Homo-oligomer: A and B are copies of this chain.
């Protein structure tokens, strides 16, 4: 994997130079969150880019941090409330698979589920141990923001969401995010960046059943959505505060899962980024 490339908007700072540019939004961002409490970070990136591997590395490096992973298992195994006679709960289906198989029918329903499950995760009360810890950090794998500006936006642009569904989704998304405003703010994004081709290879390697139908074209769409948002800054964001959240871009083209040196480099960049938040 090419050496970590710390790319900051249009300023091409070399890795060794002080990370001043990376934090061009930080003072503004910090001002937004002087409310104290844990720093909230979010990891974004394409399907199979290596988020779970990165999360494990973060947890090994910072066991005191709290990490909330993406509730994929919940989407794949929707269970009826309450128990059946035999004590088990009735399995209702795999909505992630339904969405992949019949996007025009199930994309909207899926996006309501994914959004609400991300909202629940981000609104969870702060665990006691984090409140006491001096420099506590909460890390989220994707967010209510990527639910809209990556996935739902992409489903509309590729025709899976009708314009009426996309309009209704945006309407309640904006409404709920205004209602929960401060509780959802993030201090920083970590964008794991790799080409769609690299993601496709990793997708084959992990060999998940419901991902069998995913094509390179879909990963290319999602890659463009990430790049438009975090690099090109062309995605229209409807939340003022969101526009100033600093972004740490980490090039994970090179497989870091077994590469200790590369892991150390990545964690070094994260630590520097955190110090300046």
Contacts and interface: CB of A to CB of B under 8 A. Distances in A.
A170 B112 CA distance: 12
A217 B180 CA distance: 41
Contacts of A81: 167, 170-171
A165 interface: yes
A80 interface: yes
A140 interface: no
Nearest to A171: B116
A108 B105 contact: no
A171 B123 CA distance: 15
Contacts of A119: 175
A175 B81 CA distance: 14
Contacts of A112: 112, 168, 172
Nearest to A110: B168
Contacts of A109: 108-109, 164-165, 168
Interface residues of A, number: 28
A212 interface: no
A78 B172 contact: no
B164 A95 contact: yes
Nearest to A169: B112
A31 interface: no
Interface in A180-222: 180
24 contacts: A78-B164, A78-B167, A78-B168, A80-B163, A80-B167, A81-B167, A81-B170, A81-B171, A92-B164, A92-B167, A95-B164, A95-B168, A98-B164, A105-B105, A108-B109, A109-B165, A109-B168, A112-B112, A112-B172, A113-B168, A116-B168, A116-B171, A116-B175, A176-B176
Interface of A: 78, 80-81, 92-93, 95, 98, 105, 108-109, 112-113, 116, 119-120, 123, 163-165, 167-168, 170-172, 175-176, 179-180
- Which 7 pairs from chain A and chain B are nearest by CB? A116-B172, A92-B164, A93-B164, A113-B168, A92-B163, A92-B167, A78-B164
